[in-house]
Amino acid sequence: MRRDMAAKGKITINQGLCKACELCLTVCPDEAIRLSDSLNEKGYHPAETAKESCRGCALCAVMCPETAIEVYRE
């Protein structure tokens, strides 16, 4: 499957909950997540969407210890 065909998903990250454990980064097959340059209230660099390559597989949400990620798919 070509990447642009697979890209049919979307995530939202509740950055206030994020503790920058990076586990979502390790499981995302589409490299769609990265850590932000800015800090959240807790003092972490929270995860953010890196590019529009998300396919809505929800692996990041399954992994996320903070339940900070919601996943949508077309």
Partner 1 sequence: MKTVYTRPKTLKPVSNHYCPGCGHSIIHRLVCELVDEMDMRGRIICIPPAGCAVLAYNYFDFDVCESAHGRGCAIATGFKRAQPDRIIFTYQGDGDMAAIGTAETLHAANRGEKITSIFVNNAVYGMTGGQMAPTTLIGQKTTTSPYGRRTEVEGYPLKITELIATLPGAAYVARTSLANPVKIRETKKAIKKAFEVQISGAGYSLVEVLSPCPTNWNMSPREAFVYLEEIMEKEYPLGVMKDNTAKKDK
The per-residue DSSP string of 19-53 comes to ----HHHHH-TT--EEE-SS--TTS---EEE-STT
Q: Which residue has the tokens 């590019």?
A: 51
23 binds partner 1 (CB under 8 A): yes
35 near partner 1 (CB under 8 A): no
Which residue of 3, 39, 42, 51 would you call a contact of partner 1, by CB under 8 A? Answer: 42
Q: Specify whether the CB–CB gap between 71 and 56 falls below 8 A.
A: yes
62 scored as a contact of partner 1 (CB under 8 A): yes
Contacting positions for partner 1 (CB under 8 A): 9-10, 16-17, 19-23, 26-27, 42, 44, 56, 58-59, 61-67, 69-74
